[in-house]
Amino acid sequence: MSNPEQTNPVIIETDRSTSLVRIQNLSKTFPVASGFFRKGNSFIHAVDDISFEVGEGEILGLIGESGCGKTTTGKLLVKLETPTSGQVFLKNTHVEVKLPKQKAGVAKATSAKTKAISLVTSDGFADIAHLRGRSLKLFRRNVQMIFQDPYESLNPRMTIYDICAEPLSVQSIGSLMEREARVAELMDLVGLTPPETFLFRYPHELSGGQRQRVAIARAMILNPSFIVADEPTSMLDVSIRTGVMNLMLELREKFKISYLYITHDLAVARYMCDRIAVMYLGKIVEMGQTEDIIQNPQHPYTRALISAVPIPDPSVRRQPMELKGGVTKPINPKPRCRFYERCPMATQRCATSDHPPLEDKGSGHSVACYEV
Amino acid sequence: MALLEVKDLSMHYWTRKGEVKAVDEVGFSLEKGESLGLVGESGCGKTSMALTLLKLLPENAKILKGHIFFYKEFQPQTANALLGEMVNLVPQKANGRASTLGRLTRIEGEKLLVQPARNGATKAPSPVSFSFSEIAQVGLDLVPLREERMQRVRWKGISMIFQAAMNSWNPVYRVGDQILEAMQTHLPKTSVQQSKKRIAELFQMVGLDPRMMERYPHEYSGGMKQRAVIAMALSCDPELIIADEPTTALDVIVQDKILREMRQIQKQLHMSMIYISHDIAVIAEVSEKIGVMYGGKLVELADTQTIFERPAHPYTKALMSSFPNLKGEKKKLEALPGEPPDLISPPTGCRFHPRCPYATEVCKEKDPVLEVRQPGQVAACWNPLH
Amino acid sequence: MQVTTKTLPPSLWRVRMHLWLKGMGQSWSTFRESPIGVTGLVIIVFFGLLGAFYPIYPWFMGKIAWDQETIQKEGIDLNIVYNPIFGVGNDPLLIKGFPQPPSLRHPLGTNADGPDVLAQIMYSASREFLLGMMAALITVIIGTFIGAVAAYYGGWIDTLFMRLADVFVLFPPIAFLVVVSALVQRAGIEMTHMLLALILGLLFGFGSITIVLKSQALTIKVKPYIEAARVAGGSSFHIIFAHIIPNILPLSFLYMMFNVTTAIFSEAALSFFGLLPSINMSWGLMLFRAHTQGWILGHQGAFYWWVWMPPGLAVTLLCSAFYLVGRGLDEIVNPRLRKR
């Protein structure tokens, strides 16, 4: 693919599909400083060779315990992190590639110097991994993120208006009057009404739920097609949380936005998501339709996870599944199933073979396990 | 037999912005071996409630009124220790006398003399005398108790597991030594050898390898640290443990395991528990009784089963219907309108009325009190659901 | 629900102005509760007034302390009598060669050459202020910018500035200033207050303040709102200036107060060593002269207290006043110190 003679974007022929985001073999490793002497040979495999797609207007839930790499995945999708390898394709991404300067007459292969080669598919997808400059800025309009902590994700020294209008001003969209009108419109949309009572207040004067609504308004103001929501409701109170979740569902209906909904709470994921991907130590171990996963989990980890969720109904008796040990860190993982140490049904094969591939077991329900 | 009785308890904070009515006229009682769950949103006063019960309050907080009775079976030999304290004397059932609240002023031979509280009367009531054989239980009132007496009740009588406790281990000491130090302070008569043996037992009980005693906190995972906190809370054989969000920071699999272990230990040691959480699902799994708090008040108190089948207070119902469920069919959740009340200037009348779908005129004016809706269920509402 | 654009305020700057004033009002009410800070502020205001009243001092003294007829008859020019630098004029009551004790004509007495001590104090006050403020401002601007940039970019930029800070912290500042003053003299440049402020500002700007502000900026850098700004498409420039700097600015302001103290003290010290010949009047210089003429440690030094005590006290008070204000501001900047 990376032809050094190529100066234009590399075009990949693909089948047309309805997906909006397509992730292929995405990996991200972080170096670990080990001990007193920093040795460069230890890496945390935060995200390890994962692939999935998010359709237009679809909510994909990314489930897992803390440290499983779900937040890193989210950050890779909005390009807050750059992947170590693999591609993140997004539909309707505008790619500008600088043509290398050519010496008189000789078409010199200078692009060998340019490390980044932009990949573009024939149905309008482009790899965002190496976007920079103007292309990156335009991409930012398309993809936004909502953060977990509404107390930390709004600058305490900016008014609500400034926070919401920030994307417009950094993208130089609209006049001052237009921006004001747009912010007021968004405030209305997220249920902060009447807008003028909120616009010139500071975040600390608002409650957690209101702040998260401001964060949603900020994410929505550029009309993105894809939003990564990193545990947007986990820090909110129960009675407030439902309102925010319903708001996000309404926005999806209205604007056909796709979400990657990152959460550790399976009950929330069930309520919000169309499909669920379960992550364990940087790997997706199971993926499928939400009800399929909840009612009929296949992977032992998913089964343990679901069996551990408390049920707010005293008449239901759960049968919790025992797991050995606790979550470790994926530092230089051994070439075997990531779940091997804790798996109650591990066999010799799990220990000797590589991590099992994610295989479709029918009707879009895929599992990465040798024993299923 | 009651172990803890809270009556009409109010605790307010004084801040720069005004007086925060964090706990307002709360009352409940807890039997021995029973577990009570307090559920409510952040800022509803549930953590303040826990701090008040332990009297671990910051300087700007004050208990305005009310009683916290910590009951013990009456033993004549320990009566001396109670001299001068406010007590609630509960006579034997067959006796027919009413329980008496007052200051224990004198012990004369086989008799206790109690000076009842004045309660607004102009003349001090005359002292009441009880013979030893008449008394079944003595409830020590923790509210007026001096700090040095209170320290003896903490850990040995009432112990606690706090939300952030797992991050409060001192990183430079071994975990076992830290528990040992706490034990030595509170149980000075026990030898170091005995204490160490006891800690090893406790570690086993909470699912930790006793060898972990010799390790430092950084060698523990989050779940292990929380287990060690539980072991520490159990170290002085308390009769009651108050657990404030004991598993909130933990992952779901670890949370489930720890909750089950706590439940098991509680049954095994016949201990009472007060669980405090925002997560009604967690509360439902570990407690027999559930108290729902809203805006500094207890709005409903009932058996777990009852509260789920027939909630009486509209807030309880709203709380439960806004929880997404993993079992059963998927339905649209109803969001509660509005925001939790500001406890500096709470709404008049019922504090829930601005958000309540059933609110009427009376709700805006008068504050409802807890009334019995059915056996084992009380609720404070003018328009209860049944 | 309707979009209510019409009711929006017509001009943003007016709203911002209002918010800013409101914020200042809140900060002021917090500050007012700190007795330390208010004490400092009172002292600063006192010296401010002292400096501001200098121009009318001769006129005022002429009104209250002098016989109008004598002024007319002797042809006394009060502006010369109260000139802080050279003037004695023909005040018939003064005997040169010995300091005159405080009197109605000279509230703090005169020094041995005749000039009025209070006039010297008043004249110097505004210059000390200017010097202290300028130097502190330069220090804080440099410190804030470097702190923010070093924290944001990290890597070699961070290393460079931090090692530079180490070097500046390592130098004993007074000794370093002695060398710099000498070099400036040697180069034939006149050492004015402004130049001194610049030198002091640069010297302290690259020093410990960058380390403090950088560590503050580091805590800001990892906040999710920085990531949110990046996701919105904000450039590094935007993030540094719209997010990091506004959030470390309160701390910068606090350090500015402490740096005023340092600057005024450094000037006094240099003047005391006689290293600033181009600055013809300052509190430090008053002390220098009193010392070299033997009024401080001479055989009857303590007797002529009005020669050395007023400038000494002025330096001490003003330096501590800025420090006290800084402490008062600390309670606004660090809410954890605030009592509930």
Residue range C44-102, pLDDT digits in tens = 999 999 989 888 888 888 788 777 787 777 777 777 778 777 777 666 667 667 787 88
Does the structure show a pLDDT above 90 at C193?
no
pLDDT for res A102: 47
d(CA C242, CA A111): 36
Paired tokens of C179: 């060398």
What share of residues in chain C are helix, strand, coil (percent, to 5)?
75, 0, 25
Output the pLDDT for position A10: 63
d(CA A294, CA A286): 11
**Which pair of structure tokens corresponds to residue A39?**
């040795």
Shortest Cα–Cα distance, A6 to chain C (Å): 29
Question: Which is nearest to C132 in space by CA: C329, C322, C330?
Answer: C322
- Domain layout of chain A by residue ranges: 4-104+114-367
Mean predicted lDDT score pLDDT of chain B: 88
A 10 A CB-CB count for C41 gives 18
The pLDDT-based confidence of C339 (bands split at 50, 70, 90) is very low
Contact flag A242-B42 (C-beta cutoff 8 Å): no
Looking at residue A334, its pLDDT comes to 84
B-C contacts at Cβ under 8 angstroms = 7
CB-nearest to B253 from A243, A267, A305 is A305
Q: Average the pLDDT over B237-258 and give the result.
A: 87
Tell me how many residue pairs between chain A and chain C have CB atoms under 8 A apart: 91
Residue A299 has pLDDT above 60, yes or no: yes
Which of A132, A155, A169, A226 has the most C C-beta neighbours within 10 Å, making it the best mutation to test the interface with C? A155
Residues in chain B within 8 Å Cβ distance of C338: 16
Q: What is the pLDDT of residue C275?
A: 81
Give me the residues paired with residue C230 across strands: none
B residues 2-21 closer than 8 Å to C (CB): 13-16
Place of tokens 């993030």: C239
* Residue positions counted in chain C: 340
Could you tell me which residue, A353 or A215, shows the higher pLDDT? A215
Start-to-end Cα distance in chain C: 41
| 3 state DSSP class of B137 | strand
| pLDDT value for C29 | 86
- CB–CB of A43/A331 below 8 Å? yes
Q: Do A188 and C1 touch (CB under 8 A)?
A: yes
User: Which tops the pLDDT comparison, B114 or A315?
Assistant: B114
Do C197 and C266 touch, CB atoms closer than 8 A? Answer: no
Query: Is B294 a residue whose pLDDT tops 50?
Result: yes
Residue C175, CA distances (Å) to C139, C168, C266 in order: 19, 12, 10
What is A4-104+114-367's CATH number? 3.40.50.300
Contact A156 C247 (CB under 8 A): yes
Burial code (b: 16+ CB inside 10 Å, e: under 16) for B370-380 equals beebeeebbbb
Mean pLDDT of B179-202: 89
Residue C146: the pLDDT is 93
* Alpha-carbon distance B362 to nearest alpha carbon in chain A (angstroms): 24
Least trusted range by pLDDT, from A30-39, A245-254, B224-233, C236-245: A30-39
> Which residues on adjacent β-strands are paired with residue B28?
B6
Write out pLDDT tens, residues A197-233: 888 888 988 888 899 999 999 999 999 999 999 999 9
Write down the pLDDT at residue A5.
41
> Residue A275's pLDDT band (boundaries 50, 70, 90)?
very high
Task: Enter the DSSP assignment of C243.
Answer: I
Instruction: Check if the beta carbon of residue B221 is closer than 8 Å to that of residue B249.
Output: no
State residue B241's pLDDT score: 93
Of chain A, the percentage scoring pLDDT greater than 70 comes to 85
Chain A positions touching B279 (Cβ under 8 A) are: 238, 310
pLDDT of residue C81: 75
Query: Of the candidates C5, C9, C235, which has its C-beta nearest A181's C-beta?
Result: C5
Interface confidence (ipTM) of the complex:
0.85
User: Above 80 in pLDDT, residue C2?
Assistant: no
DSSP codes, C261-312: HHHHHHHHHHHHTT--TT----HHHHHHHHHHTTTTTSTTGGGGHHHHHHHH
Cβ–Cβ gap A159/C19 under 8 Å:
yes
Q: Summarize pLDDT for A126-147 with one digit per residue, the tens.
A: 788 777 788 888 889 999 999 9
Find the CB nearest C224 among A147, A181, A195: A147
